[in-house]
């Protein structure tokens, strides 16, 4: 028997209902649980995210040269341009716009609360360079 049965990534934010709606629409997910201070979404393929209310949350500040990129979410997509249009229509914003060359293409974004995530055409397999 496994010691840990399941996990969920939890993002702290001031308004969990609004942030959950952003990701629910972006990921075609369903709301799976709600309490006054937490909203959880999921999909049949096992993807789960939760959003926890924190009235004192400070939005992430990436990218700043003095801070390294500590954590972010990667989402695999088939069409970067189409996925980008959806992110922006839902209230996300690009963090960087660049032509990525190499074994995979990716673009960075921030959700409406400032958490960073990446849309990737292929799974990155090596360390970040640059």
Decide: 109 and 91 in contact? Cβ < 8 Å. no
CATH 3.30.720.120 placement within the chain: 1-56
User: DSSP string spanning 45-102?
Assistant: TS-EEEEEE-TT------S-TTS-----EEEE-S-HHHHHHHHHHTT-EES------S
pLDDT in tens, 72-92: 788 989 888 999 999 999 999
Return the sign of the alpha-carbon dihedral for residues 42, 46, 47, 48. positive
- Reported confidence tier of residue 58, pLDDT bands at 50, 70, 90: confident
CATH no. of 59-130? 3.10.180.10
| Phi, psi of 40, rounded to the nearest 5 degrees | -120, 140
pTM, two decimals, is: 0.76
Quickly name the fold that domain 1-56 has.
3.30.720
């Amino acid at each position: 028997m496994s010691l840990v049965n399941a996990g969920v990534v939890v993002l702290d934010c001031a308004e969990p209902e609004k942030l959950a709606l952003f990701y629910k629409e972006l990921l075609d997910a369903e709301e799976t649980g709600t309490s006054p201070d937490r909203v959880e979404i999921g999909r049949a393929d096992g993807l789960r995210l939760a959003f926890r209310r924190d009235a004192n949350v400070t939005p992430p500040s990436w990218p700043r040269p003095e801070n390294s990129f500590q954590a972010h979410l990667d989402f695999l997509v088939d069409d970067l341009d189409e996925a980008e249009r959806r992110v922006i229509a839902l209230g996300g914003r690009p963090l960087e716009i660049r032509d990525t060359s190499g074994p995979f293409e990716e673009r960075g974004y921030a959700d409406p609360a400032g958490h960073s995530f990446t849309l990737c055409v292929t799974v990155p397999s090596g360390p970040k360079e640059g």
